[in-house]
């Protein structure tokens, strides 16, 4: 009896010392099993985890990417739950280690990390492909001419349903847009956006100032050809006047199709 008590006490002391001194190893999937001498098991868990993480990162924003990210989380939970079950004294039930591992890892690492990823690399889709959007890019500053913006879907009684998509800023509020003989000027100078795509029909002349809380952008998608003379001129030149609150962020990469992946300058 005394021997058993001494042995159990020593086991509890080792578990406590190992948890206190090496608790950070729980954050590394497969490492607790490796340190316990179960190297094959540790390598399997480690392989599952990093394989799922890498493929999930490659497929970020897709259904497959989300499923593999969930698989990586489950592998991490399995590693932590196994270590908790092996080292705890007295022992836990079958579900307690899994529940504590899932809650702990989710609150400490995965949920905050996912929120950051969805803010800085928000996956946005159009019929032509997928893009990554930084939703915080314009929280402290407004878009500038030449920059790319992502426009949210907007529907109103006075305009047709415009889809989400990328647009490039041509002029901002307060700037004067003028055109003559098929050419366009912003505050009397050539626009920073390539003017070849902004040419207007010959003998067309006009001038107006971009209103407050609005942007003049060039973008793809259907545009209304009904309304004032300004709307008709802008429509024919692939230009649109949009409110600034339509802008939800700055696209910085094209993610899909995979063979067309690139950074957006």
For the chain, domains (ranges, CATH) are: 2-120 (no CATH), 124-263 (2.10.109)
What is the rounded average pLDDT of the residues 184-189? 84
Which pairs count as long-range contacts for 220-225, CB under 8 Å and 24+ apart, including other chains? 220/165, 220/166, 221/162, 221/163, 221/165, 222/160, 222/162, 222/163, 223/160, 223/162, 224/159, 224/160
Report the range of poorest mean pLDDT among 168-182, 227-241, 248-262: 227-241
Query: What is the per-residue pLDDT across 118-164, written as a single tens digit (0 to 9) for each?
Result: 999 999 988 878 899 999 999 888 899 989 999 886 544 444 455 57
Would you report the helix, strand and coil content of the chain in percent, each value rounded to 5?
45, 25, 30
Which pTM does this prediction carry? 0.73
Give me the pLDDT at residue 154, please.
56
Rounded to whole angstroms, how far apart are CA atoms 102 and 106?
A: 6
CA dist., res. 121 & res. 166, Å (int):
15
Separation of alpha carbons 236 and 239, rounded Å: 8
In a 13 Å sphere around the CA of 231, the CA atoms on its Cβ side amount to 11
Of the chain, the percentage scoring pLDDT greater than 90 comes to 22
Q: What is the pLDDT of residue 54?
A: 93
| Average confidence score pLDDT of the chain | 76
pLDDT of 114-123, one tens digit each? Answer: 999 999 999 9
């Amino acid at each position: 009896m005394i021997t058993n008590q001494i042995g159990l006490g020593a086991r509890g002391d080792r578990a406590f010392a190992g948890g206190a001194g090496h608790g950070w190893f729980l954050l590394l999937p497969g490492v607790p099993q490796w340190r316990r001498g179960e190297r094959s098991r540790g390598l399997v868990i480690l392989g599952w985890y990093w394989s799922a993480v890498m493929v999930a990162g490659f497929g970020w924003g897709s259904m497959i990417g989300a499923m593999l990210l969930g698989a990586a989380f489950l592998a991490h939970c399995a590693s932590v739950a196994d270590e908790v079950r092996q080292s705890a004294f007295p022992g836990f039930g079958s579900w307690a280690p899994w529940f504590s591992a899932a809650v702990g890892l989710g609150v400490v690492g995965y949920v905050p990390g996912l929120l950051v990823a969805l803010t800085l690399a928000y996956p946005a889709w159009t019929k032509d492909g997928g893009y990554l959007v930084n939703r915080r890019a314009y929280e402290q500053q407004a878009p500038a001419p030449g920059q790319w913006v992502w426009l949210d879907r907007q529907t109103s009684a006075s305009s047709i349903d415009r889809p989400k998509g990328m647009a490039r800023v041509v002029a901002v509020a307060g700037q004067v847009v003028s055109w003559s003989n098929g050419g366009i000027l912003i505050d009397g100078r050539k626009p920073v956006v390539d003017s070849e795509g902004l040419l207007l029909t010959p003998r067309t002349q006009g001038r107006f100032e971009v209103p407050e809380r609005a942007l003049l952008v060039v973008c793809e998608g259907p545009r209304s050809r009904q309304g004032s003379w300004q709307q008709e001129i802008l429509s024919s030149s692939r230009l649109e006047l949009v409110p600034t609150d339509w802008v939800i962020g700055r696209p910085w990469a094209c993610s899909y199709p995979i063979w067309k992946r690139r950074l957006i300058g």
